[in-house]
């Protein structure tokens, strides 16, 4: 087709199109040209056939989009939406792990019990604290690292892959390693502290120290990932913004504050939301840091996710576990609303 | 790569130093895992801790392999993560194509719904899922951890963003004019164009599924574990030997690290591509 004289193929505006594999399509198709230049009037049979074909085409064009999106929505309904709603239903019942199909109506009992449950408030507080001390430094470091990676560098691919490597390490493996590094007697971190003349820390038993340790695992695993997200957004910032800022005499730091950060606002909001959702779900790190569902001897780093697991699978109260799940869901809804408000604010200020 | 927009300034030695420090911080815990896995348990209980490899790696790997059921775990995880990646890529490409290029009623509303589902973490659904597999007697069976993960909203969105620009609408129309049924259009036009994004999404999903944690430790036991379940068993004290625990962590991470060594550049590119458009 591409060897045809110029202008002879009006149906393909783009010369590159015929090279695509899709254009190699053939089959029981009518000629691509209009029926008009045909030698004789179409017979009745042909008319009927083309009518049938066009009906089939209509039906196909109309319904195939739904067929294409159906698998996603069916699976989501079966394994996402329905379980979420059913969790709400189960939270109104007394359900034992040993006979999970026998549900006894309990009204709001699980919720009222939760509100007067010190361990629940403890877990909520721990989740918030760990969420803040893992998310804030993580995103700030990611922002700084992305800024550095945005310079022209030697070995930039190496840095990117290296920073992303912790992302490939599972929660379980990472936590087992960090639990050893934070070990009281033989851990590398206490050894280093002693080396510089500080006294060793009993990381696991202290409230703050254990929460910092758990947060550091989250930070280690996710900083590189967020760095790449920021870097991608920074590369999309038009160059002339920097050039005109430089012409105005802005230093690199001023360019970072006045050009980069404002351009990145939507991306920053996105990472804040994703990290916050992740933080409310925190589970594997506190479970494996001390190896117990209680999150430490005095529950000092038990998160909501861990408390859900303890109530459901160690105290056998699936109804209570469901109530905790719905409490977490409510928290997410609040976060979602806040995010929406902030996003609207940002749009208006533009 | 560094010649992209915004990358016009050269980084000085400060930038390089900071990046080297952070790169080492990212890599050293993994190196140390390998060091600890190559030592005896007694050596790990000495001060200072070991800084170089010892000679016990194979022995520790062997113990982890037999005592923590790591062989079975690795096989199961490949099956689980492979199935999840394949189905996610297939369904995400179909739905992503429809949202990117086809016209249908309630399209924007449905797309909003897809994005909304990203906000609902699967952890909130474990109780009913547990009830379901108890009823079906699926505890300890791999389909119990595969089925709930077969689609991903992120995947749909990712493919939509890719196809919106990568797939010329004329190409679809040309195939349509040729009388191609939409299944043929998908097979002969959409899939070839989408292939690079499908590969990236497949890798990202595989990593995510490999590291899936909460639901597998509820649905599976040590008899038929995934890697994460087996590692949880190690971490919860079924095996007290620290060097064996580290050997297990190494075994469970090594396949992904090897994949990273080979495809690292593509994975980095994929995450960044998804980020810009998302």
CATH class of the domain defined by A110-349: mainly alpha
Provide the 3-class DSSP secondary structure of residue B47: coil
B256 inside 8 A of chain A by CB: yes
Give B3's contacts in chain A (Cβ within 8 Å).
152
B2 inside 8 A of chain A by CB: yes
What is the C-alpha to C-alpha distance for residues B225 and B217, in angstroms, rounded to an integer?
8
Whether the complex's predicted ipTM is more than 0.85 is answered with yes
B4 is a domain residue: no
Record: contact B235-A179, CB cut-off 8 A: yes
B14 is a domain residue: no
pLDDT for the residue numbered A270: 84
Segments making up each domain of chain A, as ranges: 43-90, 110-349
A281 inside 8 A of chain B by CB: yes
pLDDT for the residue numbered B239: 65
pLDDT for the residue numbered B68: 83
* Number of domains making up chain B: 1
Record: contact A220-B29, CB cut-off 8 A: yes
Structure tokens of A96? Answer: 């034992």
What is the C-alpha to C-alpha distance for residues B74 and A83, in angstroms, rounded to an integer?
29
Degrees, nearest 5: CA angle A174-A178-A181: 145
Record: contact B242-A180, CB cut-off 8 A: yes
Nearest CA in chain B to A227: B272
Degrees, nearest 5: CA angle A265-A268-A269: 85
Record: contact A288-B170, CB cut-off 8 A: no
Question: What part of A 115-174 touches B (C-beta under 8 Å)?
Answer: 141, 144-145, 148-154, 156-174
- Report in angstroms the alpha-carbon separations of B199 from A157, B43, B159, B207: 19, 43, 11, 12
pLDDT for the residue numbered A73: 93
Pair A320, A312: CB distance under 8 Å: yes
Nearest CA in chain B to A178: B29
What is the C-alpha to C-alpha distance for residues B107 and B113, in angstroms, rounded to an integer?
10
Pair A173, B252: CB distance under 8 Å: yes
B30 is a domain residue: no
pLDDT in tens, chain B (278 residues): 333 444 456 778 888 999 999 999 999 999 999 999 988 887 887 777 888 888 888 888 988 888 888 889 999 999 999 999 999 999 999 999 999 999 888 899 999 888 888 777 777 889 999 999 888 889 889 999 999 999 999 899 889 988 988 888 888 888 887 777 888 888 988 999 999 899 989 988 999 999 899 999 999 998 899 999 999 988 777 667 888 899 999 999 999 989 888 888 888 888 887 765 44
pLDDT for the residue numbered B8: 53
- CB within 8 Å of B179: residues ≥ 6 apart: A27, A28, A29, A30, A53, A57
Pair B158, B278: CB distance under 8 Å: yes
Q: Domain range spanning residue B189? A: 68-277
pLDDT in tens, chain A (350 residues): 333 333 333 333 333 333 333 333 333 444 444 444 445 566 777 788 777 777 777 778 788 899 999 999 999 999 888 999 999 999 999 888 888 778 888 889 899 999 999 999 999 999 999 999 999 999 999 999 999 998 888 888 899 999 999 998 989 999 999 998 998 888 889 998 988 988 888 998 899 999 999 999 999 999 999 999 999 999 888 888 888 888 888 888 888 888 888 889 888 988 888 888 889 889 999 999 988 889 888 999 999 999 999 999 999 999 999 999 999 999 888 888 888 888 888 777 66
Say which CATH number the domain at B114 has: 1.10.3720.10
pLDDT for the residue numbered A350: 60
pLDDT for the residue numbered A17: 35
pLDDT for the residue numbered B9: 66
pLDDT for the residue numbered B216: 94
DSSP secondary structure letter of residue A202: -
Checking phi first, is residue B139 left (phi over 0); if not, alpha (psi -120 to 50) or beta? beta
Provide the 3-class DSSP secondary structure of residue B101: helix
Give B218's contacts in chain A (Cβ within 8 Å).
309, 313
Record: contact A29-B232, CB cut-off 8 A: no
Tens digits of residue pLDDT in B197-252: 999 899 889 999 998 999 999 999 988 999 999 999 887 776 678 888 999 999 99
Pair A92, B118: CB distance under 8 Å: no
DSSP H or E run through A104 = strand A99-105
């Amino acid at each position: 087709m591409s060897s045809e004289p110029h202008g002879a193929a009006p149906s393909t505006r783009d010369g590159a199109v015929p090279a695509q594999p899709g254009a190699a399509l053939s089959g029981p198709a009518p000629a691509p040209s209009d029926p008009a230049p045909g030698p004789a009037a179409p017979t009745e049979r042909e008319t009927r056939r083309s009518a049938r074909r066009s009906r089939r085409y209509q039906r196909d064009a109309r319904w195939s989009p739904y067929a294409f999106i159906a698998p996603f929505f069916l699976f989501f309904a079966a394994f996402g939406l329905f379980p979420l709603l059913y969790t709400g239903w189960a939270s109104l019942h007394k359900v034992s792990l040993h006979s999970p199909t026998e549900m006894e109506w309990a009204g709001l009992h699980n919720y009222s019990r939760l509100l007067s449950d010190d361990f629940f408030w403890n877990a909520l507080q721990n989740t918030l604290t760990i969420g803040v001390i893992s998310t804030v430094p993580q995103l700030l470091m990611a922002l700084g690292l992305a800024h550095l990676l945005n310079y022209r560098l030697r070995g930039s691919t190496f840095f990117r892959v290296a920073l992303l490597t912790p992302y490939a390490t599972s929660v379980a493996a990472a936590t087992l390693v960090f639990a050893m590094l934070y070990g009281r007697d033989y851990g590398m971190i206490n050894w280093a502290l002693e080396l510089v003349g500080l006294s060793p820390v009993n990381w696991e038993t202290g409230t703050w120290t254990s929460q910092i340790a758990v947060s550091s695992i989250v930070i280690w695993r996710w900083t590189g990932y967020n760095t790449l997200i920021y870097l991608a957004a920074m590369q999309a910032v038009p160059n002339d913004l920097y050039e005109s800022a430089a012409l105005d005499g802005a230093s690199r730091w001023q360019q970072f504050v006045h050009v980069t950060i404002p351009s990145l606002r939507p991306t920053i909001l996105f990472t804040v939301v994703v990290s916050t959702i992740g933080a409310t779900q925190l589970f594997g790190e506190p479970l494996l840091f001390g190896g117990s569902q209680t999150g430490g001897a005095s529950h000092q780093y038990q998160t909501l996710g861990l408390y859900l697991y303890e109530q459901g699978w160690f105290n056998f109260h699936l109804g209570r576990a469901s109530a905790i799940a719905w409490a977490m869901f409510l928290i997410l809804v609040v976060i979602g609303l806040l995010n929406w408000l902030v996003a609207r604010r940002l749009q208006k200020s533009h | 790569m560094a010649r992209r927009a915004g990358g016009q300034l050269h980084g000085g030695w400060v930038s390089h130093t900071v990046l080297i420090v952070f790169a080492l911080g990212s890599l050293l815990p993994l190196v140390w895992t390998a060091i600890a896995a190559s030592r005896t348990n007694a050596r790990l209980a000495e001060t200072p801790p070991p800084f170089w490899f010892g000679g016990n790696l194979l022995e520790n790997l062997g113990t982890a392999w037999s005592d923590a059921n790591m062989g079975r775990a690795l096989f199961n995880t490949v099956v689980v993560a492979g199935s999840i990646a394949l189905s996610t890529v297939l369904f995400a490409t179909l739905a992503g194509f429809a949202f990117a290029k086809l016209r249908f009623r309630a399209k924007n509303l449905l797309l909003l719904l897809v994005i909304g589902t990203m906000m609902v973490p699967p952890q909130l659904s474990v109780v009913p899922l547990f009830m379901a597999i108890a009823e079906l007697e699926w505890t300890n069976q791999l389909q119990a951890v595969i089925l709930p993960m077969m689609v991903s909203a992120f995947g749909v969105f990712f493919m939509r963003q890719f196809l919106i620009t990568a797939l010329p609408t004329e190409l679809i129309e040309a195939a349509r004019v040729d009388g191609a049924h939409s299944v043929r259009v998908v097979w002969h036009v959409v899939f070839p164009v989408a292939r690079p994004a499908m590969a990236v999404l497949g890798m990202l999903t595989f990593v995510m599924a490999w590291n899936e944690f909460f639901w597998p430790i509820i649905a599976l036991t040590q008899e038929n574990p995934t890697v994460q379940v087996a590692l949880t068993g190690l971490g919860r004290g079924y095996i007290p030997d620290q060097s064996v625990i580290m050997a297990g962590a190494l075994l469970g991470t090594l396949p992904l690290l090897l994949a990273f060594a080979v495809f690292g550049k593509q994975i980095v590119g994929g995450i960044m591509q998804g980020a810009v458009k998302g």
